Amino acid sequence: MRRSAGPAGLLTALTLLLIVPAAPARAGEPTPQQRIEQQLMCYCGCSDLTVRTCTCGTADAIRADIAAQLGAGKSPEQVVAWYIERHGEKIRSAPTTAGFDLVAWIMPFAVLLIAGATLVMLIRRWGLRPAVATADPGPQPPGGAPLTAEQRRLLDRVRKDIEETY
């Protein structure tokens, strides 16, 4: 037996369609608004977060403004340019990859490369140093010349005399 959905089933289906939000065209890919929110920093002063991740009222207002500008027909690039014109380059979450901003991308890697090369050179230099002798060669006369056999016999006799005395 087949059952018809009837008015109750139709009402349930419509309710589910209204409750479940529509999925973006491509799952996992951010919407234009989300891309803009990731490109802009929140200027609330309470944290150093992008508009996408900040939860303050200022970020909410920026998100609403972005949605309004996109709704008015502006492209994502125009919205970002409007915010940069209004607040300066500091509103960007990352520097551009052109002009002087390219230095901000290159410098951390260059510093790491130079520091690593310096560390390798220092380790190699330390490894080439001669090992310090740990064994005591015994007493040496002031001139640094080694003791002769006669001097060693004399030294041994003086040691024995001192040991017997004390």
- Whether the full predicted model's pTM is greater than 0.75, yes or no, is no
The answer for 28, left when phi > 0, alpha when psi is -120 to 50, beta otherwise, is: left
Domain boundaries, given as residue ranges, for the chain: 25-91, 97-127
What CATH number matches the domain at 25-91, 3.30.420.40, 1.10.260.40, 1.10.8.640, 2.40.240.20? 1.10.8.640
**Spatial contact of 41 and 48, defined as CB atoms under 8 Å apart:** yes
Helix, strand, or coil here: 54? coil
Residue 71 in contact with residue 83, Cβ under 8 Å?
no
Could you tell me the two tokens for 127?
């490894």
Q: Which residue has the tokens 């920026």?
A: 62
- pLDDT, one tens digit per residue, over 67-120 is 998 898 888 888 888 888 888 887 887 777 677 778 877 899 999 999 999 999
The per-residue pLDDT for range 15-37, each reduced to its tens digit, is 555 555 544 445 578 788 888 88
Judged against a pLDDT cut of 50, whether residue 153 lies above it is answered with yes
Q: What average pLDDT does the chain have? A: 77
